[in-house]
Amino acid sequence: MHARSDPEPLSTLSFDNRFTRELPADPVSENFRRQVNGACYSRVLPTPVSAPTLVACSRETAQLLGLDEAACATPEFAEVFAGNRLLSAMDPHATVYGGHQFGNWAGQLGDGRAINLGEVVNAAGQRLVLQLKGAGPTPYSRSADGLAVLRSSVREFLCSEAIHHLGIPTTRALSLVLTGEQVLRDMFYDGRPELEPGAVVCRVSPSFTRFGHFQIYAARGDLALLRRFTDYTLRTDFPHLGEPGPAAYCAWFREVCERTARLMAHWMRVGFVHGVMNTDNMSVLGETIDYGPYGWLEDYDPDWTPNTTDAGGRRYRFANQPGIAQWNLAQLAGAIQPLVGEVEPLQEAVTAYAEHYLREWNAMLAAKLGLGDLGRAGDDALVAELFEVLRLGETDMTIFFRNLAQVDQDPSPGAGEDRLAPLLPAYYDPRAPDARTRERTLAWLDRYRQRLAAEGVPAAVRRQRMNAANPKYVLRNYLAQLAIDRASEGDFDGVHELLDVLRRPYDEQPDRERYAHKRPEWARSRPGCSMLSCSS
């Protein structure tokens, strides 16, 4: 039995659970796995755990909710955000949705290990959903247990905040709590499961609505519920579009396309690979959602994916992400087409997505290069050669772009190969680039300097632009794994230190240089340091 009370540290949280108030509930109250029809959610309670222990809390996300750090350090906070205790106004529930997984329709999916506690309205009037991930089974858990383990929870907690501080739209993470339970997981899918420490992350977002929420109602032919859910989404999350109707549905879809295009450009800007871009992992808010087997490009490889499940087809590889997003948008368009009544405006929006993406990407790439724009003759060739040069050697994308700002745009006569010196730390080969790579890179640098000269951008302005677009610190998988290793031994300082570094990814942090190093050789093939499985 869950006690319901409002302990003083959390009494400032003001709930207004519009989702459960305005949308139809599953009439079945028992928590067992089943198909749920004619409803948008099922009420379900988190599973109590034996020993909730706070590992980490994001002070920025807490502030969004009106909570201070002292409130987050209380035992009551750990109890609530492990799922052991409910505040009086909470209305815990899991939502139903469907989705395409790796390009195939998967039918009903739903919140299989996510339980929404309710919607908080903060002092600024912003609506924020509190969602526990790993808090136990729901009717949508299928054959799973609804739980999560420490390693995946550390990665979700840290990456949610890291992506936010990079300036990329994302769901947020409030807290990471150890449960005191052991959870059985087959990390490598090799038939040798092991017990691992369990954990719960509290995720926060104005909405966790996914493309798949609309797909499930359309697939079932339940147009009344599709319309009701879509109208709710427009009124709650897109009120600026006016009253729902065919015109508003089209305007909403165009906005979803534009938000998604900007999100993809941001991912490509920093070298982030999501790893599981199924339609049920796409937010209509254009936020990064569901941090599973993600990763950052280390050596620049457009075909790299962090997901072992996708190792064969590489559907969700780095270079494919913008195109996959457009494919996913086409599936969303198909789902809402019955509400619009015609196909053409939705097709136009899907087509226009590519234009939005290209515009966003060109603007971001120009900033990465310290340029005002990329609209001059020869710019396309300059960019194409840059990425070919990156592929020639095993070149760390993050370090290359960050250090490119240090290259002197007006080298002294006879500088020769010294021009390459700032970029040498980006190469994984300890002997640095081979002769062919050196030759092409130096030739590219000469063309790049000519382009800078043609624009006449002052060196200080160029470096400022570049350092604001090219992070020095990203959540490399090996860094996350080192923090996980320490947390598994009861030492949470690694999580705290890494979170603090990632708060200022674009700043020089002289005492934190070790967090900016490229992947060490020992991490090349160690589990958790390169590719990851979907196991959690």
Q: Which residues are catalytic?
A: 280
Task: Using alpha carbons, list the distances in angstroms from residue 380 to 385, 445, 446.
Answer: 9, 15, 16
Q: Which two tokens stand for residue 116?
A: 């929404």
State the Cα–Cα distance between residues 378 and 452, nearest whole angstrom.
12
First to last CA, the chain: 27
Q: Which two tokens stand for residue 386?
A: 């840059």
Task: Using alpha carbons, list the distances in angstroms from residue 135 to 51, 138, 207, 227.
Answer: 13, 9, 19, 31
**What are the residues facing 182 on neighbouring strands?**
197
Q: Which two tokens stand for residue 27?
A: 């009439």
Edge-to-edge, what's the strand order for the sheet holding 127-133? 41-43, 93-95, 114-121, 127-133, 194-205, 172-185, 53-57
Cβ-count burial 317-344 (b if 16+ within 10 Å, e if not): bbebbbebbbebbbbbbbbbbebbeeee
Are the CB atoms for 405 and 506 separated by under 8 Å? no
Q: Which two tokens stand for residue 276?
A: 């599981």
Burial, 412: exposed, middle or buried (Cβ in 10 Å; 0-12, 13-18, 19+)?
Answer: exposed
Q: Which two tokens stand for residue 222?
A: 């339940």
State the Cα–Cα distance between residues 119 and 14, nearest whole angstrom.
8
Burial, 511: exposed, middle or buried (Cβ in 10 Å; 0-12, 13-18, 19+)?
Answer: exposed
State the Cα–Cα distance between residues 344 and 342, nearest whole angstrom.
6
Are the CB atoms for 254 and 352 separated by under 8 Å? yes
Sorted by sequence, the CB contacts under 8 Å of residue 340 that are 6+ apart come out as 246, 249, 250, 346
Residues 106, 111, 113, CA angle at the centre, nearest 5°? 115
Closest CA to 148 of 294, 32, 46: 46
State the Cα–Cα distance between residues 440 and 320, nearest whole angstrom.
26
State the Cα–Cα distance between residues 386 and 383, nearest whole angstrom.
5
